[in-house]
Structure 1
Amino acid sequence: MLNVEMLRPLVEAAWGRDTCDPAGRDEWRPENPSWSQCGVTALVVQDLLGGDLIHGEVHMNGAKAWNHYWNRLSDGTEVDLTADQFRVLNGASVVNGQVVHRPPEGPRRCREEYELLRERVLVALSAERAE
């Protein structure tokens, strides 16, 4: 059965500049591959593991700077595969996490990036299971 620890390396290997939110694409670097990947990653994790999407705010110096997304699995475990993107930001904190509902028509923003990440992860998962 698929779990977070099996999924994590597949997702991390699938990230690239082309799966990054366009708003953060200029700052994306291979040394920080999770940068601006939170929305698409949280959707793919939800596709494969279920649970809830959580939305929070990234605050810098007390003010909202960005949005951030992660997951809460059905057993209550919170999973944030992109939390380390903030290691380069001194003073960043994620606050106000709330469950949000996924639009039934799919993501409104970053649809192409989501579909690309999802396809890469599914291909890698299929290859892993074939071995």
Structure 2
Amino acid sequence: MKTIKVEEIMKVLLDSWSLESSSKWSKDNPAKGQCGVTALVVNDILGGEIRKTKLPDGWHFYNFINKKRYDFTDSQFLENITYNDLLSNREEAFADTNAEQYYYLKQKVSTALFS
């Protein structure tokens, strides 16, 4: 099994995010609206936990792997995030996306990492 580095996943995510993975995506802000779907796909690949923090626009999801926080979509925000690191789950993160967006991003990321 190939060992995946966090930096490698970040690059693949940037190349994979699109309107197909979030209706809020834009060229100027590719991470916009990608938190739930990204947390799910990263969880599929690297395991760990899905965590959440309450922000003015709603819940923000990210990953917690080997006792470390990884927020692959924090670039969507202008302000710094004060993290609550509340334990979440796949069901809550999935409520932030839909099956089409999830399967699209999972396929794009998996193909880029494992092909």
TM over 0.5: yes
The alignment-based identity, stated in percent, is 30
Task: Report the structure number with the largest CA radius of gyration.
Answer: 1
Matched, 1:17 2:19: yes
Q: 2:64 aligns with which of 47, 64, 72?
A: 72
Report matched runs for 1:80-95 at 5 Å: 80-87=71-78, 93-95=81-83
TM-score, with normalisation over the residues of structure 2? 0.85
Residue matched to 2:6: 4
| SS at 2:94 equivalent | coil
Could you tell me how far 1:95 is from its partner in structure 2? 4.3
- Distance across 2 between alignment mates of 1:92 and 1:9: 21
Matched, 1:57 2:54: yes
**Larger relative contact order, structure 1 or 2 (CA cutoff 8 Å, min sep 6):** 2
Q: Is the 8 A contact 2:29 2:76 kept in 1?
A: yes
Q: Is the 8 A contact 1:12 1:33 kept in 2?
A: yes
Could you tell me how far 1:101 is from its partner in structure 2? 2.3
Could you tell me how far 1:55 is from its partner in structure 2? 1.3
Residue matched to 1:62: none
Matched, 1:126 2:114: yes
Q: Is the 8 A contact 2:37 2:102 kept in 1?
A: yes
Structure 1 residue ranges, 4+ long, deviating more than 6 angstroms after superposition? none
Q: Is the 8 A contact 1:56 1:96 kept in 2?
A: yes
Q: Which has a greater percent of strand? A: 1
Give the partner amino acid of 2:52: H
Give the partner amino acid of 2:69: E
Structure 2, unaligned runs of 5 or more: none
Structure 1, unaligned runs of 5 or more: 60-64
Could you tell me how far 1:57 is from its partner in structure 2? 1.2
Give the partner amino acid of 2:60: H
Give the partner amino acid of 2:17: W
Could you tell me how far 1:10 is from its partner in structure 2? 0.8
How many residues in Structure 1 have an aligned counterpart in Structure 2?
111
